[in-house]
Amino acid sequence: MGEKEKHISRSQVEHLAWLARLELTEEEKELYTQQLNEILEYFNRLSEIDTSNVPPTYHVIGKVNVFREDEVQPSLKTEEALKNAPRKRNGFFEAPKIL
C-alpha cells in the first residue's frame, strides 16, 4: 500500500494511543497503522457494492420482536415477596446504606 493510499497516518495512531493512554512500541505503531489502513480499505471496497436493490435490514436473520398484550395481572402479596428477605422494615426490603 503506497503512502498516498493510506487513510490513517502513523502520527494519528500515536495520537489515538495517547488519547487511550496506551504506550506503544515503534513496531506496534507501524503494525497498527498498517492494520487500521487495511480495515479502512476494506470498508472502502464494501462501499463500492451496489446495494440499490437491497432493502434495508435491522436484523440479518429476519426475526421480529414478538410482544404480548400488556395486561394487568395480580402480583405477589407483600408478605410473599418479603418472606425470604434477610432484612425488612415496614413492608419493604431493607438494605444497608451505601455512601
Q: Where are the domains of the chain?
A: 3-47
* pLDDT, position 5: 61
Calculate what percentage of the chain has a pLDDT beyond 70.
94
Checking if the pLDDT of 79 tops 80, the result is yes
pLDDT of residue 87 exceeding 50: yes
Of 32 and 70, more confident: 32
Task: Tell me, letter by letter, the H, E, C secondary structure of 8-27.
Answer: CCHHHHHHHHHHCCCCCCHH
Query: Yes or no: is domain 3-47 CATH 3.40.50.720?
Result: no
Q: Which residues contact residue 33 at a Cβ distance below 8 angstroms, ignoring those fewer than 6 apart? A: 6, 8, 9, 10, 13
User: What's the chain's average pLDDT?
Assistant: 89
Dmax over CA atoms of the chain, in Å, equals 73
Position of cell 480499505?
41
54-77 confidence digits (pLDDT tens): 888 777 777 777 788 889 999 999
| Cα gap 94→90, rounded to integer Å | 9
